[in-house]
Amino acid sequence: MPHPCPHYPAPVRHPWTRWWRWLTQRSNLLSQLTEGSYRMLMGRRRVAGHAVRIVNDPAAVRQVLVDEAPHYPKHRFMHDLLEPLLGVSIFTSNGETWARQRRLLEPAFERTRMTHAFAPMTAAVQALVERLAPLADGRPLNIEHETTHVTADVILRTILSLPLERGDSQAIFEAFAHYQREAPDATMPRYRRAWWPRRGSATRAQQAGQDIRALLRRHIAPRHAAFHAGQAGAPQDILGALLEARDAETGAAMGVEELVNEIAVLFLAGHETSASALAWALYLLTLDLDVQQRAVDEIQRVIGDGPPRLEQLRELDLLRRIFRETMRLYPPLGFLVREAAAPGCLRDVPTEPGETVIVSPWLIHRHQRFWERPDEFDPDRFLEPAGRQAMAQAYLPFSMGPRVCVGANFAMQEAVLVLALVLRAYRVLPADKPPPEPIARLSLRSQHGVWVRLERRT
């Protein structure tokens, strides 16, 4: 029998309660949702004096993200929110700047194909399995730290051909946590009214962004200097492809800061979101040990006790459904924020230039009109006609349209590999801790960690 998913902030009904929750819990976007948000097709409200339209209707979502995507560019708030970390990069830019960056990055995206990435990815995951051995003593473990380490390790090995040191892993985890906590309040002064609380968040967010960029720059700058000095023997990784890239119009190469911008995007997209999803997946498996055992049986049947091969990952159907269901319940990016660039119309309702339009995978994936038992963990729902239909119209963990995540296949293969090797080696059991509380900032994380217990399989 499917188990219910962990607790998430209960929707509120009374407007005064909603106002107080917004004022005191504004850092968690999930706390701002009303009960009707999970049933409505479109809604409009004012937040801090700004018109905000939330779009759940699949046809309108497609209109915003696919059919009329140029008319609904990424909101300038997202650029302001992420600029200290990502600079002017493909993740935050729009229009011709975005198109130029996309063209420039195409060769690098080729290096994320699994035929190139499988060996370094496997090495990173095997290192994770070894690191977990002394932690598999039955005591509570915050698995977010470990999923952050392995996904950062995977992406650094793929981008820079370097394994991640433990000290760097902890620094990355803490810097991202600080940035996610401080960046929203640091950005709101540009949009807020005078009474918005000021707490020095801008300085702390700026420092966290600089810490992450400094870690990346430490590895990028020497490679950039060596490449332009004509030194041979550089690894054929993503950074190598970016060093070779040239602007089609000017022939210019990317400078160190441009490289840091784009590598930071790949790092954020390739590690932070995957780390979140993997932590939730392992937690959900503690809620349904029958599903976990079925997954172990599948792993033994397909992979056995030997090293995994790329073609075997495609045969792990249950593991794929487990991760797909995890991404439904806990999409790493819970809110996709756009801005109407011109007068338009959504569901026969006019939109004005400057109006904020939000497409929320969190709401759509739990929407009561689209999904049966939307708050239950059930990987087998995708085997049923209703589940397949819902997935076709109301499932967008990687967004959709021209800005769909180019690393979606990479993320799926990485997740299946991590789950396969971890579950083959360890039982993942419930910890004597309160259920994790999701908090939506830049990505969907847990307020106080995701706790599990590990035991070795015999």
Q: Residues forming the annotated binding site for heme? A: 405
Sheet holding 336-339, edge to edge: 42-47, 50-55, 356-359, 336-339
Annotated binding site: 405
d(CA 53, CA 339): 10
Rounded Cα gap, residues 20 and 78, in angstroms:
25
Nearest to 6 by CA among 214, 270, 283: 283
Angle made by CA atoms 423, 424, 425, in degrees to the nearest 5 = 90
Rounded to 10 degrees, what is the CA torsion of 275, 276, 279, 281? -110
Residue 262's CB: how many other CB atoms inside 10 A? 25
What are the φ and ψ backbone dihedral angles of 224, each rounded to 5 degrees?
A: -60, -45
The residues, any chain, with a CB within 8 Å of residue 403's CB and separated by 6 or more, are 65, 69, 74
Q: How many other CB atoms are there within 10 angstroms of residue 114's CB atom?
A: 17
Supply 67's token pair: 């059919």
Residue 369, Cβ density class (10 Å: 0-12 exposed, 13-18 middle, ≥19 buried): middle
Dihedral, CA of residue 389, residue 392, residue 395 and residue 396, to nearest 10: 180
Among 386, 270, 373, 383, residue whose Cα is nearest residue 329: 373
Q: Hey, is 438 helix, strand or coil?
A: strand
* First CA to last CA distance, the chain: 27
Residue ranges in 288-372 assigned as alpha helix (H): 289-302, 310-313, 317-329, 361-365
Spatial contact of 236 and 111, defined as CB atoms under 8 Å apart:
yes
CB 363 within 8 A of CB 43: no
| Measured distance CA(450)–CA(285) in Å, rounded | 12
- What phi and psi values does residue 426 have, to the nearest 5 degrees? -140, 145
Residue 404 amino acid letter: V
Report which DSSP code applies to 369.
T
Q: Mapping DSSP to helix (H, G, I), strand (E, B) and coil, where does residue 248 land? A: coil
Residue 339's H or E segment, with its range, is strand 336-339
From CA 73, how far away is CA 353, in angstroms rounded? 11
d(CA 394, CA 428): 30
